[in-house]
Structure 1
Amino acid sequence: MEATRHPRPEAVLFDIGNVLITWQPEDRLDEMVGETRRRLLFDAVDMHAMTERFDRGEDFRAVVEETAAAHPDLADTIMLWHDRWLDLASPVIDHSVRLLRALKARGVPVFALSNFGVDSFALSETRDRFLTEFDRRYISGHMGVTKPDARIYELVEADCGLAPETLLFTDDRQENIDAAKARGWQTHLFQGPQGWADRLVEAGLLTREEAQ
């Protein structure tokens, strides 16, 4: 098993979107405005490119308002990205939150490493208070660089001072995992909380009971 070929991790890093908080904005928009309107939006506007801008540190409201102004026929729907952010970034993945807290209870340092805007993260933090519980938080909007750029992983290593091979990172996107692997990190492609729980048990960080 992978866990037997590496040292026991000295810190665990969680992505946030689709690891701790569901990030499926298409599904949430279908509920808000209907599938037809959502399809019109995504056919006309690269919403993920818009999100990448504030994930890199641009102002959340300004980016969404600029995009809405460029597409007046869809402006009301585009503004939902800002005005109903908490509805888009939901629901919480409860088992993953329990794993975060179980690691902390065991004294394992737990870090966040997420593509997230400065203001959108602050908004999510007001509701999802577990986001305040990390020992260190590496949020792309504050760092000015997003995964999978190698620079963000370099910045994490420089800040935490831990050897790459002692870091265990989970993310739901293969390209982000591949970039971490290229730096020597231990990794887990997140496809659901049970698989992540099993990986933490295999790594010797949690017991089976603690990982429930």
Structure 2
Amino acid sequence: MTTVSAVVFDIGNVLIEWQPERFYDAQIGAARRQEMFAAIDLHAMNDRVDRGQDFRATVMETAARHAAWGPEVEMWHDRWIEMASPVIDRSVRLLRALRAARVPVFALSNFGIQSFALAETHYPFLGEFDRRYISGHMGVIKPDPEIYAQVEADCGIAPGALLFADDRPDNIAAAAARGWQTHLFTGPDGWARALVERGLLTEESAA
């Protein structure tokens, strides 16, 4: 196995839980949430934000087009930080353990420009990466091969020396197709084992 020169973290559902459906279930009930998500493609709206469109303007325009659900759609902006929570504490510890071991750590995440700036005010560890690749600033989202190509070009590390953790199989498949080492994140315990198995952390530092 090629030596890992940098570890690349997705953020949503790897370092911070991202479960909009869970948020809406708690606010309006599962049945109404299902009705709303069937009527409005809110994840497609969020993809537009992640590609760099203005966060507030995009959400409010969607709310205006779907007036029957206007207040609920506006929550996607006004209460966004509640959707992007809580922190996955062990994943943050692993990030910091890698830094302590002098392993370069990058972020590669589908994230809007303004929403990422908001997240930074709540989650200081987002400032601890050696390099950050945020889709809103890049104008492209995973799993488009272009986003991985931009990372490779910027960091100058061979694809096979990058180890990438993401919770979505399509994002992992796209990275693997470029030759990246990958880990499909299903929880921090498995991610810790993967880092130990590759010799990046010890059992003690990964605890």
TM-score band, normalised by shorter chain = over 0.9
> Taking structure 1 as the reference length, what is the TM-score of the superposition?
0.96
* Structure 1: gaps spanning 5 or more residues: 1-5
Conservation of the 8 A alpha-carbon contact between 1:168 and 1:186? yes
Match of 1:158 among 153, 156, 166: 153
Alignment of 1:81-120 (within 5 A): 81-120=76-115
* Structure 2: gaps spanning 5 or more residues: none
3-state DSSP class of the match of 1:58?
Answer: coil
Instruction: Provide the residue aligned with 1:198 in structure 2.
Output: 193
Query: Please, what is the CA RMSD of the aligned residues?
Result: 0.7
Q: Which 4+ runs in 1 deviate beyond 2 A?
A: none
What is the identity, as a one-letter code, of the residue corresponding to 1:142?
Answer: H
Conservation of the 8 A alpha-carbon contact between 1:8 and 1:204? no
Q: For 2:105 and 2:93, locate their aligned partners in 1 and report how far apart those are by CA, in whole Å.
A: 13
3-state DSSP class of the match of 2:179?
Answer: coil
Q: For 1:17 and 1:159, locate their aligned partners in 2 and report how far apart those are by CA, in whole Å.
A: 22
Deviation string for 1:116-172 (max 9, x for gaps)?
A: 000011111100111111000000000000000000000000000001110000000
Alignment of 1:41-190 (within 5 A): 41-190=36-185
> Taking structure 2 as the reference length, what is the TM-score of the superposition?
0.99
3-state DSSP class of the match of 1:13?
Answer: strand
Q: For 1:32 and 1:197, locate their aligned partners in 2 and report how far apart those are by CA, in whole Å.
A: 34
Conservation of the 8 A alpha-carbon contact between 1:95 and 1:193? yes
Deviation of the 1:24 alpha carbon: 1.0
3-state DSSP class of the match of 1:30?
Answer: helix
Deviation string for 1:89-117 (max 9, x for gaps)?
A: 11110000000000001110000000000
